[in-house]
Chains A and B, each alone.
Chain A
Amino acid sequence: MSSRTLTAPLQQTMTPKDGVIIRTENLWKTYDMGAVQVHALCDVSFDIERGEYVAIMGPSGSGKSTLMNLIGCLDTPTQGKYWLNGRLVSELSDDELAYIRNKEIGFVFQTFNLLSRATALHNVELPLIYSGTPAAERLERAREALRKVELGDRMHHKPNELSGGQRQRVAIARALVNEPSIILADEPTGNLDSATGDEIMNLFDRLHQAGNTIVLVTHEHDIAARAHRIIHIRDGKVARDERVK
């Protein structure tokens, strides 16, 4: 049995400037709908450095989620190059992509995407199970992550016994638990009322202060305003890339 610890991708196809976590170069994503071709992303290029707090903004259908899924290694571009931590993602095997999703990326979805049958604790344990973390350490780290999002007293509740905000906090704990290089959040407050949304955003702010790199998708200005940099997307293109703090 080969271990994922040893199949960790090692290709060093380029050495980006120190501190660059994400580099996209002329990314295209085209959906072939038979009669028409939908260009969800056209020629997208940017760098994101360690420790940045980036918001990706744009109207509905502009290609934000498509971009996030590419960054999160859930999907592959039609054209263009994407480096994550210096590794050219298009060259990675299936298992190596799984490894990256497991270790390098913490994904937070608009719809939470929790396993409904499992307790909060087990949901948070899942990434550790897939990284082969021994039981004692796994439990300890999962509990610790839940405490970080102030759900220490809800560990054995199932998602349907939790409020929307609590569910999203479970999802954030799950994203944090493997100490990823980057946290990706696709409209994390989209399914929450504004008060709960603020709580979640405060949590992201704290995570950023603690040193995490965060990329956040939103179409709301006041949420984007919390970030230090806003990448505006329109019709699949980068319309503007501004530093706000």
Chain B
Amino acid sequence: MATLARARSLIHERARRLEAASFWVMAREAFWIALEGLRTHKLRSFLTLLGVVIATTTLIVVMSIINGMNLYIADHIANLGANVFVLSQYNWATSDEEWIRERHRNKPILMDDYTYLRDVLSGYKNIGASAWVQPSPQVKYKNQIIYEVNVTGETPSIIEMEQEQVDYGRFFSESEYEHSASVCFIGTDLVEKFFPNVDPIDKVIFVGGQPFRVVGVAKHIGSTLGQSQDNFVQIPLTTLQKLFSARPRMNIHIQAQDVRQMAALEDQVRAVMRSRHHLPYKEPDDFGLNASATILGVWEQLTGSIFAGGIGIVAVFMVVGGIVIMNIMLASVTERTHEIGIRKSLGARRRDILMQFVIESAVMAATGGLIGILLAIGVAKLVDVFFTASVPVKAILIGIALSTSVGLFFGIYPARQAAKLNPIEALRTDG
């Protein structure tokens, strides 16, 4: 019994191997026939594949833009720091109408607001303020000048809540803040330009004509949309008030102990600010509360709708492209009826013919997908110049898989027509 079972399983194994071997031979043959067809009828092939090409290109470009935006958000807005939200004059992520309304009603956040909140809020881990010097002053060291440096005044606590981190030296101290000391913390762009070979610590640079002693350098951050994020000078907020602007507009950063206390803390800030601004019960806020979570939510909505639109376009073009391929395959089956007859007379089964035409159709569509991918990589590079786009590997895989599946799916009907041809009738047609 055991020997018999073994013999039978050996036969099965051999049969399976044979089947697999002939599958690959037939697949390879169908593959070359498809490519040769594409090569010999270039214009027809181009028109045939146009739908699939457009669909794949759209898919990948949309995915690349969304991916680029996500990377941007992840790097720059989500990087506010853990459990930090920001009280500012405006909400950062709003609709256009909302933005116009806020422009008219919202009041600036000022130093008084900061000191008041610092004293009355309870249960926070950190609070800090940050104000811009505008317009950006030029910064000078010896006879070198950098224009358009991002100069901000900060409270000492800010270093614990933002993405900048100390690389060497230190951030300015509480006492330097108290005494409006002329000290500064700089980004790596300034180090590269001013201090390529020397230790920048304790050197004096001139910001808007005022001397500042460098006390620390930040870790390199990188750039976004062509904007360097390392081109900054941070000085004590009090010094900014003394030297540049008596009533600076600022953002107040508040850090909760943990994520569960974020909402309660936001409510506290909202209540305090509304009462300071004497807002009646039904009036909307006249200030912005921005948390990375809410910003991310808005982004997700935005990218979601871009994606939904993209999917619509992709689906339409894929279906159109699939139908065109189906028609071309039907024409090809008619043209090659005699060939099908020959193959059947030599022992091709229905499934052999079916597979041949399905593979041909899939190879054709996959070629369209491949062209679409190359095109999309070019388009994404272009978009990245003036906006942001980054082609994710996932998009390329999805592009190939989707176009191939469209070819498989729309190839089934023509392939079935070919497979069910009667051998003698197929042979009788002129070849």
Chain A residues within 8 Å of B, Cβ to Cβ: 1-6, 69, 72, 74-75, 94-95, 98-99, 101-103, 107, 109, 111, 113-117, 126-127, 129-135, 138, 174, 178
Contacts and interface: CB of A to CB of B under 8 A. Distances in A.
Contacts of B18: 3, 5, 132-134
Contacts of A138: 25
Nearest to B26: A129
Given A5-B15, A95-B349, A98-B348, A113 B25 contact: no
A6 B427 contact: no
Contact of B347 (A101, A113, A115, A116): A101
Most-contacted residue by chain A among B342, B345, B347, B431 (CB, 10 A): B347
B266 interface: no
A130 B423 contact: no
B313 interface: no
Contacts of B345: 72, 74, 101, 107, 113
B75 interface: no
Contact of A95 (B11, B19, B338, B350): B350
A105 B350 CA distance: 18
Contacts of A2: 15
B11 A130 contact: no
Given A98-B350, A134-B17, 8 more contacts: A5-B18, A98-B344, A98-B348, A99-B347, A101-B344, A101-B345, A130-B347, A174-B346
Contacts of A133: 18, 21-22
11 contacts: A3-B16, A3-B18, A3-B19, A4-B349, A98-B344, A99-B349, A102-B346, A130-B346, A131-B22, A135-B21, A138-B25
Contact of A3 (B15, B26, B341, B431): B15
Given A113-B431, A130-B348, A1 B424 contact: no
Contacts of A134: 17-18, 21
B355 to A, nearest CB: 11
Contacts of B342: 113-115
B352 interface: yes
Given A3-B19, A6-B11, A115-B339, A126 B350 contact: no
A78 to B, nearest CB: 14
Contact of B343 (A75, A117, A126, A178): A126
B26 A74 contact: no
B267 interface: no
A111 B18 CA distance: 32
A113 B108 CA distance: 88
A67 to B, nearest CB: 12
Contact of B346 (A75, A127, A132): A127
A74 B427 contact: yes
Nearest to A98: B349
Interface residues of B, number: 32
B167 interface: no
Interface in B1-51: 11-12, 14-19, 21-22, 25-26, 29, 33, 36
Given A74-B345, A74-B424, A174-B346, A5 B352 contact: no
Contacts of B346: 101-102, 126-127, 130, 174
A138 B29 CA distance: 15
A117 B343 CA distance: 13
A145 B341 CA distance: 23
Nearest to B419: A94
B424 A130 contact: no
The 4 closest A-B pairs by CB, nearest first: A102-B347, A3-B15, A132-B18, A132-B22
A30 to B, nearest CB: 15
A69 B424 contact: yes
Contacts of B350: 94-95, 98
Nearest to A116: B431
Nearest to B349: A98
A5 B13 CA distance: 11
Most-contacted residue by chain A among B18, B33, B338 (CB, 10 A): B18
B16 A130 contact: no
B36 to A, nearest CB: 7
Contacts of A3: 12, 15-16, 18-19
Contacts of B347: 98-99, 101-103, 127, 130-131, 178
Given A101-B346, A102-B347, A115-B339, A130 B352 contact: yes
Contacts of A75: 423-424
B295 to A, nearest CB: 54
A148 to B, nearest CB: 18
Interface string B312-353: 000000000000000000000000001101111111111010
A82 B273 CA distance: 99
Nearest to A113: B342
Nearest to B350: A94
Interface in B380-431: 423-424, 427, 431
